[in-house]
Structure 1
């Protein structure tokens, strides 16, 4: 019966961060994958919510001299700054996950009798996805003058959802086909399918059966 000790799995994964030699079975790999990815996703989601949801001056909105247009522009600026910061955090999280999972992926491929070099699909896909996201973000930022003009034309106070709606309208303009991202996605799909399959029985050229 497979040893599913969480402590052993974590020790094996962390100790092997710079050592792709040997083989990892499915239990070792996927539990370690979940242990690495779950907290990183949680941190990224929390940071995105905190950074992109602007503060609303409810008390100021009740004042007779409240400038709704200036408040709308201020809210939009805060949201864009938060978006940029959250993208940097996402890139950092992806880099950490790739670093921790790269050699583990190579060992899982070894268990399948495959070359560990196919694990390089992981960082390559992360880079391509990051570049595509940067392209989309750059497009949205280039549309800031248009968004500012739309907000300036509205005299009433805006809710964050209204500004998110304006940003969402700009997304289709930036969503041209990215063939590099499509190819990277397909390569990742093939890699995941391979990682889900059972290892070769008995020893293979990469070592004994785990």
Structure 2
């Protein structure tokens, strides 16, 4: 446990340090902590949004029983709203904002650590940027696609945007998988062009 905490401390202390090398044992606890914090922030944003949506649906079902079907069972409760009622849909703007800001913060927090880990593998830190353009495109297009779909106004442009999103997501996953493979391999023994092996 002490080594785990020390690795996280080392990661935060090394935020501005892009030189040198880090072992996998130093990198992964820190990367895991940053990713966990990102998901906690996303969940903390999503829970009130969904809770508010469910509350609005309950009120609507009580006020318009002819337009809603409420099903109760042991340990279950569901509401089905009939017809198109966009006013009941969640406002996802706060969630998308947290996702965009959270991803930017996560990239900044991981940049130096990823660079040092890649150096340990004998690679330049620029390899760490491979998924970033696809991440930016996805975080820019997805809110637009979501709002367009939510409004029920599916146009040829919406379908084209969906195709672009699918292609972008595949490229993002492929570049992320490549980066993970590069980060997980064994470090080079002895000194390399980026310095001596990590302690």
Quickly name the TM-score band, shorter chain normalised.
0.7 to 0.9
Asked if residue 175 in structure 1 is aligned to residue 162 in structure 2, the reply is yes
The TM-score with structure 1 as length reference comes to: 0.71
Q: 2:117 aligns with which of 108, 114, 119?
A: 108
Q: Given the superposition, is the C-alpha separation of residues 58 and 199 from structure 1 closer, same or farther in structure 2, using an over 3 Å criterion?
A: closer
Q: Any conservation in 2 of the 1:128–1:184 contact (CA below 8 Å)? A: no
CA distance in 2, matches of 1:194, 1:106: 11
Farther-moved stretch of structure 1 (10-19 vs 174-183): 174-183
Q: Which residue of 1 aligns with 2:191?
A: 203
In 1, distance between residues paired with 2:57 and 2:147? Answer: 29
In proportion to residue count, which structure has more strand?
A: 2
Tell me what 2:42 maps to. 44
CA distance in 2 between counterparts of 1:186 and 1:59 reads 44
How far 1:126 sits from its partner (Å)? Answer: 2.2
- Post-superposition offset of 1:120: 1.6
**SS of the residue aligned with 2:193?**
coil
What residue is the counterpart of 1:119 in the other structure?
A: 128
Root-mean-square deviation (CA, aligned residues, Å) is: 3.2
Structure 1 residue 87 corresponds to structure 2 residue 96: yes
Unaligned runs of 5+ in 2: 69-80
Do the aligned partners of residues 137 and 203 (structure 1) sit closer, same or farther apart at CA in structure 2, a change above 3 Å counting? same
Per-residue CA distance 1:152-182 (angstroms, 9 max, x = gap): xxxxxxxxxxxxxxxxxxx989632533332
Distance (whole Å) between structure 1 residues aligned to residue 27 and residue 48 of structure 2: 32
TM-score calculated relative to the size of structure 2: 0.74
Gaps of 5+ in 1: 147-170
The separation in 1 between residues aligned to 2:86 and 2:151, in whole angstroms, is 14
In 1, Cα distance between the equivalents of 2:31 and 2:90? 32
Matched, 1:143 2:152: yes
Shift of 1:95: 1.3
Asked whether the equivalents of residues 136 and 175 of structure 1 are also in contact (C-alpha less than 8 Å), the reply is yes
Q: Distance in 2 between matches of 1:58 and 1:6?
A: 45
Matched positions, count: 179
